[in-house]
């Protein structure tokens, strides 16, 4: 297992530490060495389930909720990569070196030990399927971070720049153990086909496995098979809502397929089954937390919608530090042999608790000081109370983190919030104000001051050592050649990050992206590490290699640190190639095209290979 360099953890507020794992033997409730299936969906909020929303159809998840222990006050980060980093490491995402979804700030450094690595070392077989979003190159890929078997798309969504060129969620190519493979069908169906195939390997076997299924849906682009969409359009829902709900209903159907196959294989009763989501609803983000506002009174009456909210009255959605941005569903269903009573737990819990919980459930020894989270195993199995605690959420969508970005401090029912970089500080009590509409800072100044001080000390704890730059390793035996994209530029602003090319699919609104707007972007550096001294080739592409698009500029430029190489491009060329020496160690690369003037366009894709 990798040796971790763990961050300093400062216990704040009324955090409590805990001891080593309690063993649950065969005479008690037991889950030791059970299989673990963890499903995380993308951009599905707390209200995007049938148990909370009259409009959406999720019968499988509704049934699963009733069979599970539900953590009803469970929190994550407001965006994708940070949540995944915290989930994989048990650390606050910023302690794990991940605080953005692009710009090279989403790559989980190999020094952090993941839950997959620990379970693998303990004898578990490990598989990751779907969305990784913690780095697309060595040493950040899931196969570098403890997963034996991997089927994934690139980037943070199907069709993003690091993904296979041209993917639209239908009949795409995905990366099976590092190699592109063509598939027929819809992305979510493909993920679950692979998951079912993986489960089939364990029929009649006692080897435990950890299966991590991370769907791209319902992240944009909102696309789903027609039959799923039509059922929502036919009742009059607006297109975005219909597409979004259709994606979730398709996930629900596929989870049903997986559960049925796990049961048929005879291993369901030796499997811990977890469902959660990665941040607040992207649909709720469009309406400050309330999708109900997208519907007319006439339609609501016709559909007999009696609920006053489709998001439990929470404010905000994805990207927000208000409750709707980071409070998400979490269900954990135990094997029948564990004799765990399905119930709800309303204490503060979070993604940082998942890894220590799973390790304790697997009866693996670990040091609690390695984590920012706590194990919930004693609560889940033995119904012990969760200690009072303080949790912090921050949204750092910048190149370099700062304490001035949005955050929320959570303690019991109190929420101390700074909702924007330039916004004021607010205090809410969500027990009687779930919509966070009434700022009571003036009425409870001592509580506000205490939580402000808590945030100050928390920030000092996560920033005391500075923020490390993670670097793609080039020329290694594990990945050579390497394909790197503008998605991972260290751009100055998120708006200069070309994450979405925009491949045409039925001319929907997601068919438009940076393709055709290349001159609106400014080349920015890739931060890399050359594995060895030697001769390297650098192939610069405007679009990816598979696009076969001519550059239509006269010159290509490659900058390695302070050295600039230039060459002329022939008419019709799709790329420019350079061959030069590089020195082992850290380096910065930039690449662009121009006509010998100031009208430059970036090379959005770069292939780097170390020569023998």
Q: What is the CATH number of the domain that holds 294?
A: 3.40.720.10
What is the CB neighbour count within 10 angstroms for residue 235? 12
Query: Same domain, yes or no, for 495 and 446?
Result: no
The CA distances from residue 114 to 3, 141, 196, 371, 418, in Å, are 11, 12, 24, 11, 31
Q: Report if residue 276 sits inside a domain.
A: yes
Tell me the three state secondary structure of residue 197: helix
What is the pLDDT, as a whole number, of residue 32? Answer: 81
**For 594, how many CA atoms within 13 A lie in the half-sphere containing its CB?**
12
Shared domain for 373 and 424, answered yes or no, is no
On whether residue 454 sits in a domain, the answer given is: yes
Residues linked to residue 428 through DSSP beta bridges, in sequence order: 415
pLDDT of 179 reads 97
Do 490 and 582 share a domain, yes or no? yes
Please count the residues of the chain: 612
Q: Which two tokens stand for residue 527?
A: 């931060």
Indicate the burial class of 306 (C-beta count within 10 angstroms; 0-12, 13-18, 19 or more): exposed
CA atoms within 13 A on the CB side of 25: 1
Give first-to-last CA distance, the chain, whole Å.
30
* 335/419 same-domain check: no
The answer to whether position 228 is within a domain reads yes
Same domain, 304 and 446: no
pLDDT of 416-465, one tens digit each?
999 999 889 999 999 999 999 999 999 999 999 999 999 999 999 999 99
Task: State whether residue 483 is helix, strand or coil.
Answer: strand
Which among 425, 444, 463 is the end of a domain? 463
Joined together, the tokens standing for residue 56 give 């959406």
Q: Are β-strands 74-75 and 330-333 bridged in parallel, bridged antiparallel, or unpaired?
A: unpaired
Q: What is the pLDDT of residue 31?
A: 79
* CB-CB neighbours of 369 under 10 Å: 11
552: phi then psi, degrees, rounded to nearest 5: 60, 35
Give the CB-side neighbour count of residue 313, counting CA atoms within 13 A.
10
Cα separation, 103 vs 344, in Å, equals 39
**CA–CA separation, 604 vs 501, rounded Å?**
10
In a domain, 4, yes or no: no
| Residue 7 pLDDT | 28
Q: DSSP 3-state assignment of 61?
A: helix
pTM score of the predicted model:
0.95
Say yes or no: 224 and 152 in one domain. Answer: yes
**Cα–Cα nearest to 98, from 109, 114, 90:** 109
Structure-token pair, residue 328 = 């998400």
**Pair 396, 100: CB distance under 8 Å:** yes
Confidence (pLDDT) at 509: 95
pLDDT of residue 30: 59
Low-confidence spans in the chain with pLDDT less than 50: 1, 3-28
The confidence score (pLDDT) of residue 4 equals 37
CA 300 to chain centre: 33
CA angle 362, 110, 157 (to 5 degrees): 90
| Residue 444 burial by Cβ neighbours in a 10 Å radius (0-12, 13-18, 19+) | middle
Question: Is-contact 603 593, C-beta < 8 A?
Answer: yes
| Helix residue spans in 90-182 (DSSP H) | 115-121
Domain count within the chain = 3
**Domain span at 150:** 35-386
| CA-atom Rg of the chain in angstroms | 24
| Closest to 357 in 3D by CA, of 145, 148, 124, 115 | 115
Q: Token match 């159809």: residue?
A: 57
Closest Cα to residue 408, out of 510, 312, 314? Answer: 314
| CATH for 554 | 2.60.120.260
Return the closest-CA partner of residue 15 out of 408, 346, 289, 412: 412
Residue 63 neighbours by CB under 8 Å, 6+ apart = none
Check residue 412 and give left, alpha or beta (phi > 0: left; psi -120 to 50: alpha): left
Within a domain: residue 285? yes
Cβ atoms 578, 558 nearer than 8 A: yes
Angstrom distance (rounded) from CA 349 to CA 434: 17
The answer on 195 and 85 residing in a single domain is: yes
Give the Cα separation of 326 and 93 in Å (integer).
13
**Domain-ending residue, one of 463, 480, 508:** 463
Last residue of a domain, one of 386, 409, 440: 386
């Amino acid at each position: 297992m990798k040796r971790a360099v763990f961050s300093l953890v400062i216990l704040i507020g009324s955090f409590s530490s805990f001891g080593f794992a309690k063993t649950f033997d065969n005479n008690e409730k037991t889950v030791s060495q059970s299989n673990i299936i963890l499903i995380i969906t993308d951009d599905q909020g707390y209200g995007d389930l049938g148990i909370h929303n009259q409009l959406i159809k999720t019968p499988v998840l509704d049934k699963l909720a009733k069979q599970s222990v539900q953590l009803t006050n469970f929190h994550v980060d407001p965006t994708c990569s940070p949540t995944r980093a915290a989930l994989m490491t048990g650390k606050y995402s910023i302690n794990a070196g991940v605080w953005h979804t692009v710009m090279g700030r989403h790559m989980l450094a190999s020094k952090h030990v993941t839950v997959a690595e620990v379970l693998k070392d303990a004898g578990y077989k490990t598989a990751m399927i779907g969305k990784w979003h913690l780095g697309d190159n060595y040493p950040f890929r899931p196969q570098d971070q403890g997963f034996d078997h991997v089927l994934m798309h690139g980037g943070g969504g199907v069709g993003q720049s690091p993904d296979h060129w041209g993917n639209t969620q239908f009949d795409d190519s995905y990366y099976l153990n590092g190699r592109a493979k063509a598939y027929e069908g819809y992305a979510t169906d493909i993920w679950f086909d692979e998951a079912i195939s993986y489960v089939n390997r364990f029929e009649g076997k006692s080897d435990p496995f950890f299966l991590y299924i991370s769907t791209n849906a319902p992240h944009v682009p909102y696309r789903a098979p027609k039959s799923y969409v039509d059922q929502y359009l036919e009742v009059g829902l607006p297109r975005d809502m219909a597409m979004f709900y259709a994606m979730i209903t398709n996930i629900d159907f596929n989870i049903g397929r997986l559960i049925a196959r796990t049961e048929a294989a005879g291993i369901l009763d030796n499997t811990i089954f977890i469902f959660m989501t990665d941040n607040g609803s992207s649909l709720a983000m469009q309406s400050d937390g309330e999708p109900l506002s997208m519907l007319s009174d006439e339609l609501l009456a016709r559909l007999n919608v009696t609920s006053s909210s489709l998001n439990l009255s929470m404010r905000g959605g994805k990207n927000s530090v208000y409750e709707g941005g980071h409070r998400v569903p979490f269900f954990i269903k135990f094997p029948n042999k564990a004799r765990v009573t399905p119930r709800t737990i309303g204490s503060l819990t979070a993604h940082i608790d998942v890894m220590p919980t799973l390790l304790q459930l697997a009866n693996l020894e670990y040091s609690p000081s390695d984590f920012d989270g706590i194990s919930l195993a004693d609560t889940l199995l033995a119904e012990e109370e969760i200690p009072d605690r303080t949790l912090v959420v921050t949204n750092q969508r910048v190149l370099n983190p700062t304490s001035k970005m949005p955050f929320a401090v959570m303690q019991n029912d109190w929420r101390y919030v700074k909702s924007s970089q330039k916004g004021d500080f607010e205090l809410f009590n969500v027990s009687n104000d779930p919509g966070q509409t009434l700022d009571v800072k003036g009425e409870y100044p001592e509580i506000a001051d205490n939580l402000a001080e808590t945030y100050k000390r928390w920030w000092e704890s996560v920033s005391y050592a500075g923020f490390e730059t993670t670097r793609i390793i080039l020329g290694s035996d594990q990945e050579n050649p390497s394909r790197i994209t503008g998605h991972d530029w260290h751009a100055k602003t998120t708006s200069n990050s070309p994450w979405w090319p925009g491949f045409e699919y039925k001319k929907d609104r997601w068919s438009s992206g940076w393709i055709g707007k290349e001159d609106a972007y400014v080349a920015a550096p890739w931060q890399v590490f050359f594995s060895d001294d030697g001769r390297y080739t650098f192939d610069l592409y405007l679009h990816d290699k598979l696009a076969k698009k001519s550059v239509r500029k006269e010159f290509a430029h490659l900058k390695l640190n302070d050295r600039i190489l230039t060459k002329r491009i022939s008419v019709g060329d799709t790329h420019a190639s350079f061959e030069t020496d590089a020195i082992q160690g850290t380096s910065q690369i930039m690449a662009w095209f121009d006509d010998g003037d100031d009208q430059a366009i970036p090379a959005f894709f770069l292939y780097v290979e170390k020569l023998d």
